[in-house]
Structure 1
Amino acid sequence: MRSGGIDLSTDPRKTGVATIDWHADGARLTHVALGADDDDLVALVDRADRTGVDCPLGWPTAFVDYVVAHRDGGLDLDVPLSRAPLLLRATDRYVVERVGVRPLSVSAERIGATAMRCAAVLSRLVRAGTVVDRTGGSGAVVETYPAAALKIWGLPYRTYKGSSAEARTVRARLLEELAASVPWLDLGGHEPFCLDHDDALDAVVCALVAGLVLHGRCEPAPPDAVQDARTEGWIALPPAGLSDDPPLVPPARPRQGSP
């Protein structure tokens, strides 16, 4: 089984990608790189059984409705009592409550531009017949959020991004603690590259979470959030404790047709 990871950016040069191959006795990071255009991303998704993408897979339903109403004249629009439904998706609010970290607002912050690129890539996949289920329950991709995963695992999840000496020191500690926490994951000698590039490290975390999704180890969207998740996307949250034993490798899942 193979899982992929994408730390998406509006700039292809800053987009990190990773691939993990899973076996009965463990998993191995077989590829990690920085720099990927849309063709590269589609090819990565096609090669993997599931790919974790660090980017919102949709916008808040309330925000979309608000913008459409404004486009159509906005006669019935009032200033909302709370802007939270316009700023945060159901999954964002769940992550805040469950993990205590707040994802960026796809409707009000710069991550929205990255989501536009993501939407175009997802469109290409769908046109090619690839299943895209934004809930993450099936299909080719699942939304991931490295900061939340790292916090759940008790690993450094802040101040590791950037080119400063402090950020590099935190990344070094993160890599050491990740290796200790997940002894069945072989980083394949790619530690120096992940130390140099935080986007590459995030892509590795995305690929690891995507593999855990395939093994049924991540939380699905709660029943009352599934409808929103189908359009807004849903962040996969991994288990708090990673066993000393690797997950069993399940059979590959169908990649074509309807979910």
Structure 2
Amino acid sequence: MHHGIAYVGIDLASDPKLTGIACLRDEGGKVVVEDVQVGADDDTIVSAVMTSRKTGVDVPFGWPRTFVELLEAHRTATLAPPPSTDPDWKRQVLYRATDLEVRRRVGKNPLSVASDKIAYPAIRWAGIAARLREQGVPVSPDGHGVACEVYPGAALIAWQLEGHKYKGKKGAASRAGLVKQLSARLPWLDWAGHRGACVDDDNALDAVIAAVVARDVDRGLATPPPAELADLAAEEGWIWLPEELQ
């Protein structure tokens, strides 16, 4: 029988074989990395989310309101011509409020879910979220349900652990250094033999980071949507950035 609080992190890829998933269990004095794996189908993800207190998912939870409105207006031939189709106009159409807020806060540019390949896993998440809602699990774009949108790369900057090029095979040495730094900064985290998996594969490491951020969100240590962006976040999604490492 498991004791403690379960937090899940998911580095969602469009391909289940490349999807990282991690489960942490908060036992009060320490947080144990119970499991980390790369390779998670929809059933595995749904089951993990349903058994967690909070799940952090590295994927956009929605699309920009301006983009959705443009598509509908274009479909119905009611689109008012913009003064210009310059880069500023396109930026307003293609980026969410939360994307611009992450850029303002930590200087990192999230990929545009409206114009980049990140749309592939985002569409997968839309299908998974529909399954969760069908089973009575509260999920919402703004992250106030059981799952929240996270961004490991931006979380590292918020934790002042930026500068690591840890992606892909060439990033193994950097991942090893990053795991070492995380271990020092998170003395309460018991990797329980899973450090090697995170050094071997950035998808595994991002899943652990996503789970740590989910725990921060649950404990009130991450930034929620401000009142003036609450309506947009409810449609577009909201990237929960952690505050200081605790």
Q: TM-score, normalised by structure 2?
A: 0.94
Note if contact 1:147-1:158 (Cα within 8 Å) is conserved in structure 2. Answer: no
Q: Is 1:141 equivalent to 2:147 in the alignment?
A: yes
Displacement, 1:156?
3.9
Aligned twin of 1:151: 157
Displacement, 1:114?
1.2
Displacement, 1:74?
4.3
Match of 2:37 among 29, 33, 40: 33
Give ranges in structure 1 of 5+ residues lacking alignment: 244-259
Aligned-partner Cα distance in 1 for 2:154–2:9: 15
Displacement, 1:158?
4.0
Aligned twin of 2:131: 124
C-alpha deviations, 1:9-40, integer Å up to 9, x for none?
A: 01000000000001221211101000011111
Q: Is 1:100 equivalent to 2:100 in the alignment?
A: no
Match of 1:84 among 91, 98, 105: 91
Percent identity over the alignment?
Answer: 41
Q: Is 1:203 equivalent to 2:216 in the alignment?
A: no
Aligned-partner Cα distance in 1 for 2:239–2:163: 16
Aligned-partner Cα distance in 2 for 1:75–1:148: 35
Aligned twin of 2:119: 112
Q: Is 1:220 equivalent to 2:224 in the alignment?
A: yes
Aligned twin of 2:166: 160
State the secondary structure of the residue aligned to 2:175.
helix
Note if contact 1:195-1:201 (Cα within 8 Å) is conserved in structure 2. Answer: yes
Note if contact 1:70-1:77 (Cα within 8 Å) is conserved in structure 2. Answer: no
RMSD: 1.2
Residue identity in the other structure for 1:140: V
Q: Is 1:169 equivalent to 2:173 in the alignment?
A: yes
Note if contact 2:164-2:178 (Cα within 8 Å) is conserved in structure 1. Answer: no
Note if contact 2:63-2:113 (Cα within 8 Å) is conserved in structure 1. Answer: yes
C-alpha deviations, 1:152-187, integer Å up to 9, x for none?
A: 1121454100012xx111101000000001101111
Aligned-partner Cα distance in 2 for 1:71–1:192: 50
Note if contact 1:62-1:86 (Cα within 8 Å) is conserved in structure 2. Answer: yes
Aligned-partner Cα distance in 1 for 2:128–2:78: 31
Residue identity in the other structure for 2:96: R
Residue identity in the other structure for 1:60: P
Superposed counterparts of 1:11-50, under 5 Å:
11-50=15-54
State the secondary structure of the residue aligned to 1:51.
strand
Aligned-partner Cα distance in 1 for 2:165–2:243: 23
Aligned-partner Cα distance in 2 for 1:124–1:201: 26
Runs of 4+ in structure 1 off by over 4 angstroms are none
Q: Is 1:239 equivalent to 2:246 in the alignment?
A: no
Displacement, 1:80?
4.3
Displacement, 1:77?
3.8
Number of equivalent positions: 239
Aligned twin of 1:255: none
Aligned twin of 1:56: 60
Give ranges in structure 2 of 5+ residues lacking alignment: none
